[in-house]
Amino acid sequence: MGERLTVGEICTREVTFADKDTNLVTAAQLMRRDHVGALVVVDHLNGERKVSGLLTDRDIVTCVIAQGIDPGPLFVEDIMSAPVITVQEDDSLIDLMRTMRTNGIRRVPVVNEKQDLVGLVTLDDVLRLLAQVFGLLVAAIDKSTQREVKRRP
């Protein structure tokens, strides 16, 4: 971890993505195959992937399954969330957390300066990182106590 932790340092770089015209059942199978709860929906422009939407397992359940709609004829574009809030890979962890809080979102696609998809960061990623940070702080407290005991038995 650097002194200024960036989103690019904590995001997942291998992102499961789909096109808007991907069949919804195929999209769900992609989620299952890769054990993910969301797909970033992309447009392919000049060999780059531009974020155009986000599809979550919750979207499929609440918009399709719970409504009794047959998912067979549906496409990702039919139920994806768009537009999507993104963050830059050089944004700070604090910037990311503010974006998540302000927008009430748990998954955020990460883009570079050309707005190309480079990763995905989730609330789980942030919580794992914060758990490590708290672990370091607890270790510092323990070390301080050990040092005190050695110096003043």
Give average pLDDT by consecutive 10-residue segment, the chain, 153 residues: 78 96 97 97 92 97 96 97 96 95 96 96 90 79 72 74
| pLDDT value for 3 | 61
Q: Name 136's Cβ contacts closer than 8 Å, sequence gap at least 6.
A: none
Burial 101-129 (b: 16+ CB within 10 A, else e): eeeeeebbbbbeeeebbbbbbbeebbeeb
| pLDDT value for 111 | 97
Residue type, 128: R
| pTM: predicted TM-score of the whole model, two decimal places | 0.83
| pLDDT value for 75 | 98
| pLDDT value for 46 | 87
| pLDDT value for 135 | 80
